[in-house]
Amino acid sequence: MSQATVSDNVWVPKEFNLLDAKIFANGHPWSLYRKMRECGRLIRHNGAGDIPDFWVATHHDDIRAVSHDTQRFTSNAGFNFPAAGKYPPPAVASAISRNIINFDPPDHTAFKQMLMPAFSPARMKALEEHTRAFVTELLDQFQPGQDVEFVRDISSVIPIRVLCDLLGIPKEDENKILAWTNLMVGVNDPEISSTPEQSLKAFMEVFAYGKWLIKKRREDPKEDLMTLVANGELGGQLLDETVLDGMCATLIAAGNETTRNAITGSILLLAEEPAALKLLADRADLTGNAVEEFLRLTTPIIHMMRTAKTDVNIAGQHISKGEHVALLYGAANHDPDIFADPERLNLERSEARKHLAFGTGIHLCIGQRVAQLEMRILLPEVIRRFKNIDILEAPRYLLSNFVSGIKKLSVRLS
């Protein structure tokens, strides 16, 4: 059978450009995702800057197939597509390209096992207790009828506290960590990081902070995630400095921004759909499923990337060795072959748990239980205290092609 030539390929619609953060200026472009899903399976995307033309996967089945096929796809050549195709400066690029999210087996397997004790049932139980107490203390500050900027006042506060608890970061450093993660993830948003140098500086400060904490945990181990990172070994050696830098940056950024946006996005969905708010208030038993439905509809990570290690065929499409594939999780989470009436918020949806917001396969998010725990505690507590959530101003979204984020959400809780 003759192989399709490049000119035969289906290309993404011209309105879509994964390398342009502005495409996500109003959140996920759901209608463009639909258009792409309908026009083919793996579709072609123009490269830019350092990135050659690449493939985009928008179907649930194809993202699963690529993510699970670690024989033929690697994460080693990078985990995402930088906006405008411009890689970060070498000092940042080398660290963020050497951490768990970029590793393939067997290093990845060893690395993940090393971190798993921090997510044990006993640790999760302790984290749950702390989170419950903290959420209560935080929400006690707000009275019915009060206007709040939900991101600043609530959804940015909880994940950073929980993450610092998990990692073993002292409470007094929380604000510093929060400011750094905003700058690291907001590199393409001029309102957050006015120059690329600001973002670079934040990475450097995180690396220096990580070194300080790792030294402390080597001298005086505790029961936290940073103790595992500080004292963990690969091939009989302690982790080298670049891996440690990358790990600190990944854990701090991955655990914070994502969960914050899942929480803010859930509140926005509930504010837009008072019937769903009422249903959740009346049916606490729906909380677990509702959280999965919120994760499906918010999909805080826009995409991840894989690279073909060999020529490979996915859904009838030939992908050549060395070519990159973008996994568009938002598109998969609206795939009508998996989710009936995918645009609709349905807290009772039986297939909600099939969402790919946490990825799938060996790199499945290590922090998913932490994020779910925060959402399962916070959302019912907000709903118990406030029967109405009214949007005061249109939400403002983060300019990023990687994290689907809401920067500002002003609401009245009553």
Contact residues for ligand HEM, defined by CB under 6 A: 67, 75, 79, 100-101, 112, 166, 250-251, 254-255, 258-259, 262, 300-301, 304, 357-359, 363, 365-367, 370-371
> For residues 91 and 365, which CB has a smaller minimum distance to ligand HEM in the complex?
365
Look up tokens 């991840």; give the residue. Answer: 304
- How near is the Cβ of 262 to ligand HEM at its closest, in Å? 4
Q: Which helix (H) or strand (E) holds 230?
A: helix 225-231
Smallest gap, in angstroms, from Cβ of residue 388 to ligand HEM? 25
User: How far apart, in whole angstroms, are the C-alpha atoms of residue 131 and residue 222?
Assistant: 19
Strands 324-328 and 54-57: parallel
Q: Which residues pair with 312 in a beta bridge?
A: 319
Residue 24 in contact with residue 400, Cβ under 8 Å? yes
The smaller minimum CB distance to ligand HEM, of residues 155 and 250, is found at 250
Q: Least separation, in Å, of the C-beta of 194 and ligand HEM?
A: 27
Find the shortest distance in angstroms from Cβ 161 to ligand HEM: 12
Spatial contact of 383 and 282, defined as CB atoms under 8 Å apart: no
What stretches of 273-349 show up as alpha helix (H) in DSSP? 274-282, 287-298, 329-332
Minimal distance, residue 412 CB to ligand HEM, in Å = 26
Quick one: 32 or 66, whose CB is closer to ligand HEM? 66
CB of 253 to ligand HEM, least distance (A): 9
9 or 74, CB closer to ligand HEM? 74
Please, which residue, 79 or 386, has the CB nearer to ligand HEM?
79
Instruction: Considering the complex, state which of residue 230 and residue 262 has its C-beta at the smaller distance from ligand HEM.
Output: 262
Shortest spacing between CB 332 and ligand HEM, in angstroms:
11
- Residue closer to ligand HEM (CB basis): 295 or 319: 295
Cα–Cα dist 299/262, whole Å: 7
Residue 339 or 358: the one with the smaller Cβ distance to ligand HEM is: 358
Q: How far is the CB of 370 from ligand HEM (least distance, A)?
A: 4
CA atoms within 13 A on the CB side of 312: 23
Maximum separation of any 2 CA atoms in the chain, in Å: 69
In our burial notation (b when 16+ CB lie closer than 10 A, e otherwise), range 286-317 reads bbebbbbbbbbbbbbbbbbbbbbbeebebeeb
Between the alpha carbon of residue 327 and those of residues 246, 250, 255, the distances in Å are: 22, 19, 20
State in angstroms the smallest separation of the CB of 197 from ligand HEM: 27
Considering the complex, state which of residue 1 and residue 291 has its C-beta at the smaller distance from ligand HEM: 291
Element (H, E) at 391: strand 389-391
Angle (CA) 399-55-95 rounded to 5° is: 60
Give residue number: closest CB to ligand HEM. Answer: 367
Angle at 66 between CA 62 and CA 67, to 5 degrees: 115
